[in-house]
């Protein structure tokens, strides 16, 4: 089954404790992206990647890191989490950006609470 898998689905942690949210897709997609969703603000793009070793900032990259060493994986790293990063996070992928006609497929989300 074609899917985007995020782990963990839920996480409660404390300020300053490094964490990684994993994202994996099994569709051989080139484009992958991370978003956060907050009430009243909608979804905002954090980082995206056009292919292996190619990443770029979205609208809200501060406090986050990403890497794309393999095509299928795109982890989101919070080196020193703070309470303002408490949010619902989504990973998405699409076949290719250059084609511009491929829909994005989303994971089920990761609810992150930072105390």
Partner 1 sequence: KQEVTQIPAALSVPEGENLVLNCSFTDSAIYNLQWFRQDPGKGLTSLLLIQSSQREQTSGRLNASLDKSSGRSTLYIAASQPGDSATYLCAVGSGGFKTIFGAGTRLFVKA
Applying CB under 8 A, the residues found at the interface with partner 1 are 31, 33, 35, 40-45, 48, 50, 56, 58-59, 90, 92, 97, 100-109
Closer residue to partner 1, CB minimum distance, 18 or 43:
43
What residues contact 33, with CB distance under 8 A and at least 6 apart? 45, 46, 47, 48, 49, 58, 74, 91, 92, 93, 104
Closer residue to partner 1, CB minimum distance, 72 or 105:
105
From the CB of 12, what's the least distance to partner 1, in Å? 17
Strand 31-38 to strand 19-25: parallel, antiparallel, or no bridges (unpaired)? unpaired
Closer residue to partner 1, CB minimum distance, 4 or 80:
4
From the CB of 7, what's the least distance to partner 1, in Å? 14
Q: Any idea what the Cα angle at residue 51 is, between residues 48 and 56, rounded to 5°? A: 30
């Amino acid at each position: 089954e074609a899917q985007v898998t995020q782990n963990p689905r839920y996480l409660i942690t404390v300020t300053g404790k490094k964490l990684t949210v994993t994202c994996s897709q099994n569709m051989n997609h080139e484009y992958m992206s991370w978003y956060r969703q907050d009430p009243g603000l909608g979804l905002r793009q954090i980082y995206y990647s056009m292919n292996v070793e190619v990443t770029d900032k979205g609208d809200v990259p501060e406090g986050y890191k990403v890497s794309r060493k393999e095509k299928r994986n795109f982890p989101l790293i919070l080196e020193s989490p703070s309470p303002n990063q408490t949010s619902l996070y989504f990973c998405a992928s699409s076949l290719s950006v250059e084609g511009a006609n491929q829909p994005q497929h989303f994971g089920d989300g990761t609810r992150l609470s930072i105390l």
